[in-house]
């Protein structure tokens, strides 16, 4: 009986208590905890923010979000503090209360198990921002690269429109990783060279260009050094844009074709028969450019009779008689677009 009566009284304050935590009442546990936790000091914390890109980053230079940087910075200290007060460390929560011009006010919550109770200590923390340069930006400004994407075109020079697209595609293909950047863009007579922070980034850019503009990728790697006993390579991705573009008029073995689609060959419209034709890669290699839709001339359709039409040649002003292409829907007096092939004038579909 005496034993049971003892267990009902707190060993600290001697008060009678329904529930005891390792022999102490709740109030005694809390007051010990308050004294112990009160010894924890959290000095102002400096967090690096990049003066170029505005992102927060760790001591290592790696970009990270503010909360995780703060959590990492205070966790080690708070773990040690928990150990010192014989509490079991259960984790740290970070809440950013308010952003200021100089930094931010935050609340740190230390969660512990102390004498059998789950307790939390809340502490304000002043975060000061220091403006430095992150690893990513310093690599960019140092011209760092691991791959080069060389964009060329097959048998021609890439057009200005293509080059503008290439740059847009390249920047949007990259993610937010520490090496997802282009450190240099070099305009060349024959195309454009992009210097990329990672090999994977260069591959992503190349695939994305080909997906949108067509063409082929070939890659070659070159050993450029050793790092931690490992061979380090730089990779060059050669992106060869297709020889012909949609809207080009091309000629092969007397056949004149308006290019409609470019993908492992060319699909187009035979301008004489009006039928769809497919030219494989070997055909494409042998074919030559006649003109394109943009350079086509406007000519007057003089007459349409049966399967023949007459057109006024806009250069010589002579009347030319042609076989009526099946796709032609125009009437005499209308304007049509024509291109000059070896075999004569060809009418384009409207």
Applying CB under 5 A, which residues contact Zn ion? 10, 12-13, 25, 28, 50, 52-53, 134, 137
Nearer to Zn ion among residue 69 and residue 92 (C-beta): 69
| Spatial contact of 10 and 28, defined as CB atoms under 8 Å apart | yes
Question: Which sign does the torsion angle of CA 320, 322, 325, 326 carry?
Answer: positive
Percent of residues in the chain assigned helix, strand, coil, to nearest 5: 25, 45, 30
DSSP labels, 93-142? EEEEEEE-SSEEEEEEEEEEEETTEEEEEEEEEEEEEEEE--HHHHHHHT
Tell the smallest beta-carbon distance from residue 73 to Zn ion (Å): 19
Nearer to Zn ion among residue 12 and residue 247 (C-beta): 12
State how far the Cα of 121 lies from the Cα of 145, in Å rounded to an integer.
47
Tell the smallest beta-carbon distance from residue 18 to Zn ion (Å): 12
Tell the smallest beta-carbon distance from residue 137 to Zn ion (Å): 3
In angstroms, what is the C-alpha Rg of the chain?
A: 37
Nearer to Zn ion among residue 46 and residue 335 (C-beta): 46
Burial class (CB in 10 A: 0-12, 13-18, 19+), 304: middle
Tell the smallest beta-carbon distance from residue 334 to Zn ion (Å): 60
Tell the smallest beta-carbon distance from residue 53 to Zn ion (Å): 3
Nearer to Zn ion among residue 176 and residue 316 (C-beta): 176
Nearer to Zn ion among residue 18 and residue 228 (C-beta): 18
| Spatial contact of 257 and 266, defined as CB atoms under 8 Å apart | yes
Nearer to Zn ion among residue 130 and residue 232 (C-beta): 130
Nearer to Zn ion among residue 134 and residue 296 (C-beta): 134
Tell the smallest beta-carbon distance from residue 85 to Zn ion (Å): 18
- Give me the torsion for CA of 80, 85, 87, 91, rounded to 10°: -40
Tell the smallest beta-carbon distance from residue 16 to Zn ion (Å): 10
Question: Which sign does the torsion angle of CA 58, 64, 66, 71 carry?
Answer: negative
Name the phi and psi angles at 70, rounded to 5.
Answer: -65, -45
């Amino acid at each position: 009986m005496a034993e049971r009566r003892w267990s009902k009284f707190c060993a600290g304050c001697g008060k009678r208590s329904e529930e005891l935590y390792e022999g102490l009442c709740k109030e005694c546990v809390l007051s010990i905890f308050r004294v112990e936790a009160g010894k924890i000091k959290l000095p102002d914390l400096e967090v690096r923010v990049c003066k170029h890109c505005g992102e927060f980053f760790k001591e290592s230079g790696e970009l990270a979000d503010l909360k995780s940087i703060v959590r990492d910075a205070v966790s080690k200290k708070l773990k040690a503090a928990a150990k010192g007060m014989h509490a079991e460390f259960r984790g740290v929560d970070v809440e950013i209360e308010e952003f200021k011009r100089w930094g931010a006010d935050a609340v740190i919550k230390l969660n512990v198990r102390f004498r059998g109770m789950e307790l939390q200590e809340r502490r304000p923390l002043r975060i000061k921002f220091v403006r430095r340069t992150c690893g990513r930006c310093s690599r960019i400004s140092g011209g760092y690269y691991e791959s080069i994407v060389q964009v060329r075109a097959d048998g021609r020079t890439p057009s200005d429109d293509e080059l503008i697209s290439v740059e847009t595609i390249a920047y949007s293909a990259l993610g937010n990783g520490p090496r997802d950047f282009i450190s240099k863009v070099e305009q060349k007579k024959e195309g454009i060279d992009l210097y990329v922070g990672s090999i994977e980034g260069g591959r992503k850019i190349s695939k994305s260009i080909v997906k949108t503009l067509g063409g082929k990728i070939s890659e070659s790697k070159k050993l450029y050094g050793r790092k931690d006993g490992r061979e380090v390579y730089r990779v060059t991705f050669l992106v060869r844009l297709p020889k012909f573009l949609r809207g080009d008029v091309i000629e092969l073995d007397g056949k004149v074709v308006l290019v409609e689609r470019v993908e492992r060959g060319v699909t187009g419209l035979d301008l004489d028969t009006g039928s769809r034709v497919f030219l494989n890669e070997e055909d494409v290699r042998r074919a030559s450019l006649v003109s394109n839709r943009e350079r086509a001339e406007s000519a007057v359709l003089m007459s349409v009779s049966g399967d023949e039409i007459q057109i006024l040649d806009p250069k010589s002003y002579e009347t030319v008689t042609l076989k009526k292409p099946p796709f032609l829907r125009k009437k005499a007096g209308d304007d049509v677009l024509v291109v000059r092939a070896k075999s004569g004038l060809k009418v384009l579909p409207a």
